[in-house]
Amino acid sequence: MQQLLQRWVDRRWLRALDAQLPLTLNQVVAEPNPLVWLLCALLCHQYGRGHSCILLQDLIKNPDSLLSLPPQNQYSQFFADRPSHILAGISLADIEQALASSEWLKQNEIAPLVLAEKRLYLHRLFQAEQIVKQQISQRVQQQINLTDKVKQNISQLFTADEQKETDWQKLACVMALQRHFAIITGGPGTGKTTTVVKLLALLLQSTASKITIKLAAPTGKAAVRLTESISGAIANLPTDFQAAIPTEVVTLHRLLGAMPNRRQFKHNAEQPLALDVLVVDEASMVDLEMMAALLQALPSHARLILLGDKDQLASVEAGSVLGDLCRGAEKGQYLPQTLALLAPFTASDLSPWQGAGTELNQATVMLRKSHRFDAKSGIGQLAFAVNRGDSSAINLFNQFDDINLLAGNQIKALQPVVVAGYRHYLQLVQRQADYGDSEQWAGAVLAAYTQFQLLCALRSGDWGIEGLNEQISRWLMAEGLLDCSQQWYNGRPIMMQRNNYSLGLMNGDIGITLFDASTGKLRVVFQLADSSLKWVLPSRLSDIATVFAMTVHKSQGSEFSHCCLVLPPDNSPILSRELLYTGITRAKKQFTLLCGNSEILAQTISKRVSRSSGL
């Protein structure tokens, strides 16, 4: 088995780490059954691809899907090494029996693998999933009755809805007020922030005692964005509802008290967070282990409200927590008793949303109307069409001015778009003298940088961020907008690739390198979650990458006025409907697509990401 795993690693069907895991475990407790070795390596590989577990059914039905196999014609000479060949004739019962008699799965605290409900897990992921399940089911069951005062306040904050259109923002508040756990999901501009601000106002008005509310987001960028949008939403409230709603948003790592080089956080079940209400925005980016850590650190009386777009790409790390929790959100699935609680707050007919949903469905609301994108917006229409898997979405590019399909299948087609997109911020980089001080200048440069972003699906190759970052730097240098002959240069945009706790910078944070004429030094300026600026010498930064081109994965939680997305001309397992939808919805005013092959676009729209989990 060891040799087979090594052959898979040599051909890049498996990561070296995946083949190493059974070897390491075997050194601690010997496992004679090669089938268990195989399952362990495949499980580790699936974990690396974001799955929380392996469904044994999938293993029997389509074992080849558990490896990173190239297209069939590229490995036909190795057919005998495919998992489907190796596992031919092995039944589900054989697998279950092999696992049941393995020391690696013995029911104890330190068993590295766990089999539960025909799903094979790494112990850590199993534990995290159990915590998320238990914590959420406890919280959704705690019901709170609405007082007359709260009901009055609801009618003050929301106008009575018309019969033909349900005000889901109002109903989201009504539902969330009655539980200790609520999910408010919806696409861009559907009013998640507006709704949660009203919800917080209602919570603050409903109690005479002081309540501590905290706002958090998975990344610094998402935290900055929420700070801005929440301040705007508070300003839209009647003045007597505005008091005490917080605007400070922290990252989840900071909230939980991340410690350098440690997996554990300062806050946990023994040292819970000191708060009564926690709002987490961009919850689609929160992975399974982080969600478990967060729920464990939440005091039992506290309310948790998750906001996010369930249709976006799942978290970079394993799990698709929000997507899993929102299964059924589209149809509502509300029980008659839930509809009875909602009925006094709406004149519209709620019967289409009736169903036999779970308790969790009763705590989940999907906002359905975008207030940012109307029927005239190509971005809104395109996002909607892609999201429902409409392969004729490509025709929309002919009908709207705010979406643009670049002709041709050459990277060169990007040049004018990218040069025009980055010109504005790079010109500001040269104009320090126009600003009163360095802070003002840096603030203007950082704001200008959000005007445009090139997004890619891939990391490597000419069509990935690696090739494109180099290419774009050369185009911009040819235009006289920068001089990239040195590694560090004025205007270089960089992204952190890892958390750096000593500098207080997180994976995904973007900084711009600026030459400060007053000091004669190059420094990189970042905007922190609290909107303040942090200046860092380039020599103190490691694990960074130039970010003229950014992967769609890394762009989650950010928005740009104009986004240009590049899809490669060849198929890749990474292309999916969720990736395209996430790329499109990063654009606020203009979206441009370069896709060298219309067949690839159709395939991308039709392919959904599905992550195995037991949630």
Ligand X SMILES: Nc1ncnc2c1ncn2[C@@H]1O[C@H](COP(=O)(O)OP(=O)(O)OP(=O)(O)O)[C@@H](O)[C@H]1O
Annotated binding site, which residues?
Answer: 186-193
Please select the residue that binds ligand X; options are 63, 191, 323, 380, rule is CB under 6 A. Answer: 191
- Reduced to 3 states, what is the DSSP secondary structure of residue 37? helix
Does 218 contact ligand X by CB under 6 A?
Answer: no
List the interface residues with ligand X, window 131-170 (CB under 6 A).
Answer: 169
Please select the residue that binds ligand X; options are 189, 218, 357, 583, rule is CB under 6 A. Answer: 189
Alpha carbons 42 and 560: distance in angstroms, whole number: 38
Nearer to ligand X, 285 or 428 (CB): 285
Does 229 contact ligand X by CB under 6 A?
Answer: yes
Nearer to ligand X, 158 or 334 (CB): 158
Q: Are 270 and 296 in contact (CB under 8 A)?
A: no
- Reduced to 3 states, what is the DSSP secondary structure of residue 59? helix
Does 12 contact ligand X by CB under 6 A?
Answer: no
Nearer to ligand X, 208 or 375 (CB): 375
Does 377 contact ligand X by CB under 6 A?
Answer: no
Please select the residue that binds ligand X; options are 46, 194, 284, 582, rule is CB under 6 A. Answer: 194
Q: Largest Cα–Cα distance in the chain? A: 75
Contacts from 130-138 at CB under 8 Å and sequence distance 24+?
Answer: 131/292, 131/295, 131/296, 132/288, 132/291, 132/292, 132/295, 132/321, 132/615, 133/614, 133/615, 135/292, 135/295, 135/296, 135/298, 136/181, 136/295, 136/325, 136/360, 137/359, 137/360, 138/300
Stretches 184-192, 202-210, 387-395, 564-572: which one binds ligand X (CB under 6 A)? Answer: 184-192
| Minimum distance, C-beta of residue 279 to ligand X, in the bound complex (Å) | 11
What residues form the annotated binding site for ATP?
186-193
| Minimum distance, C-beta of residue 510 to ligand X, in the bound complex (Å) | 18
Q: Which residues contact 488 (CB under 8 A, 6 or more apart)?
A: 513, 522, 538
Does 557 contact ligand X by CB under 6 A?
Answer: no
Does 473 contact ligand X by CB under 6 A?
Answer: no
Does 372 contact ligand X by CB under 6 A?
Answer: yes
| Minimum distance, C-beta of residue 176 to ligand X, in the bound complex (Å) | 15
Nearer to ligand X, 194 or 612 (CB): 194
Does 193 contact ligand X by CB under 6 A?
Answer: yes
Count of alpha carbons within 13 angstroms of residue 21, beta-carbon side: 21
In 412-474, which ranges are E strands? 452-456
H helices then E strands: how many in the chain?
A: 22, 19
Nearer to ligand X, 69 or 184 (CB): 184
Nearer to ligand X, 190 or 490 (CB): 190
Q: Are 113 and 124 in contact (CB under 8 A)?
A: no
Q: Are 75 and 11 in contact (CB under 8 A)?
A: yes
Does 568 contact ligand X by CB under 6 A?
Answer: no
Nearer to ligand X, 32 or 232 (CB): 232
Please select the residue that binds ligand X; options are 51, 192, 310, 554, rule is CB under 6 A. Answer: 192
Does 511 contact ligand X by CB under 6 A?
Answer: no
| Minimum distance, C-beta of residue 169 to ligand X, in the bound complex (Å) | 5
- β-pair type (544-546, 493-496): antiparallel
Does 190 contact ligand X by CB under 6 A?
Answer: yes
Stretches 146-154, 191-199, 298-306, 435-443: which one binds ligand X (CB under 6 A)? Answer: 191-199
Fill in the DSSP letter of residue 497.
Answer: S
Q: Are 164 and 348 in contact (CB under 8 A)?
A: yes
Does 583 contact ligand X by CB under 6 A?
Answer: no
Interhelix angle 438-449/415-429, rounded to 10 degrees, is 170
Nearer to ligand X, 258 or 366 (CB): 366
Burial, 525: exposed, middle or buried (Cβ in 10 Å; 0-12, 13-18, 19+)? buried
Alpha carbons 548 and 505: distance in angstroms, whole number: 19
Nearer to ligand X, 411 or 565 (CB): 565
Fill in the DSSP letter of residue 179.
Answer: B
Q: What are the structure tokens assigned to 150, written together? A: 């709260």
Please select the residue that binds ligand X; options are 83, 186, 380, 421, rule is CB under 6 A. Answer: 186
Stretches 186-194, 253-261, 295-303, 604-612: which one binds ligand X (CB under 6 A)? Answer: 186-194
Does 112 contact ligand X by CB under 6 A?
Answer: no
Stretches 204-212, 228-236, 438-446, 464-472: which one binds ligand X (CB under 6 A)? Answer: 228-236
Q: What are the structure tokens assigned to 471, written together? A: 């290419």
| Minimum distance, C-beta of residue 308 to ligand X, in the bound complex (Å) | 8
Please select the residue that binds ligand X; options are 63, 83, 188, 332, rule is CB under 6 A. Answer: 188
Sheet holding 493-496: strands in order across? 533-536, 521-527, 510-516, 493-496, 544-546
- Reduced to 3 states, what is the DSSP secondary structure of residue 28? helix
| Minimum distance, C-beta of residue 552 to ligand X, in the bound complex (Å) | 16
Nearer to ligand X, 204 or 233 (CB): 233
Residues that bind ligand X (CB under 6 A): 169, 186, 188-194, 229, 233, 236, 371-372
